[in-house]
A = this chain, B = another copy of it.
Amino acid sequence: MARGRADDPDHGVELLWRAGDREPRQGLSLPRIVRAAVELADDEGLAGLSMRKVADRLGFTTMSLYRHVPGRGQLVDLMLDEVLGEHPQAPETGGWRARLEAVARHAWEIRKRHPWLAEVRGSRHVPGPNAVAHYDYMLSTLAGTALRPSEVIAVVGMVGRFVDAEALVLVETRREERRSGVSEEEWWGSRDSLYERLDRYPTLSHLWTAGGWDHPEDSFDFGLRRLLDGVEVLVRQRDEIRDEMCAECGGPLEPAPSGRPRVYCSRACQQRAYRRRRNG
């Protein structure tokens, strides 16, 4: 096995989704390689992850890895699913907002433990079972709202990108601090030759003297709150619309004589929805 060329995605799917491989008592094995790679990336970041170093860590030659993994790219895919498997989503209760916030904070925690997660780039990473489980759970937080399917997907995508963007700045500052031995604050504090030239920028100067940089907001908390507020605006909007129209055909909804809120405009629509739910 592992004979597929590095650019055969289907082989990657196979590697990701086959479960419970027996691990040989000695020698290399895919899970061992992946775990070593995760450790390495935790220590040195994704840029510091090289096939050579992974092999060294395991006490084998570089090329031995290629007997088990098609290449570096696929190794990263496998690492992704590995760490998501270590942090299963704990089902939360509450409204959509509480659950979505919990899911975002969970992703944030995972990225603090494995900072390289946010550094993974590329649009064609085959998701493994754990990644899909996470994604499905994120989607489920909004499934109960009146958001349209495409909107649910868009919101989840946005939240994911938000967490990654925040994690990315975090890991970058951390790494530069570790590499140079100079803290971010110190480094920027030493840029006098830069600050000398900033007088001519009015708003910047004003916010500076007003102390805007002295007690900055927590970037993640602040951003997450704004983001959820923005989603909430949309959810409320959709809820209002839902209250006025048929959930199946979108037609107008006459108020029920009983005063109880109606969902479908006719018995026909109600049954169509029921059948759709059974089949799909």
Which residues of A, 198-231, contact B by the 8 Å Cβ criterion?
Answer: 198, 201-207, 209-213, 215-217, 219, 222-223, 225-231
Minimum CB distance partner of A151 in chain B = B217
Select which of B152, B204, B216 is within 8 A of A139 by beta carbon: B204
Chain A 9-23 interface 0/1 with B at a Cβ cutoff of 8 Å (1 = within): 110011001000000
A138 to B223, CA, bound (A): 17
Number of copies: 2
Is the CB–CB distance between A149 and B226 below 8 Å? no
- A122 surroundings in chain B (CB, below 8 A): 172, 176
Chain A residues within CB distance 8 Å of chain B: 7, 9-10, 13-14, 17, 121-124, 126-127, 129, 132-133, 135-137, 139-140, 143, 148-155, 157-158, 161-162, 164-166, 168-169, 172-173, 176, 180, 184, 187-188, 190-191, 193-194, 197-198, 201-207, 209-213, 215-217, 219, 222-223, 225-234, 280
Give 17 A-B contacts (CB < 8 Å), ordered by A residue: A14-B193, A121-B172, A123-B184, A124-B176, A126-B194, A136-B201, A140-B203, A151-B217, A153-B207, A153-B212, A158-B219, A161-B162, A161-B169, A165-B165, A205-B280, A225-B230, A226-B227
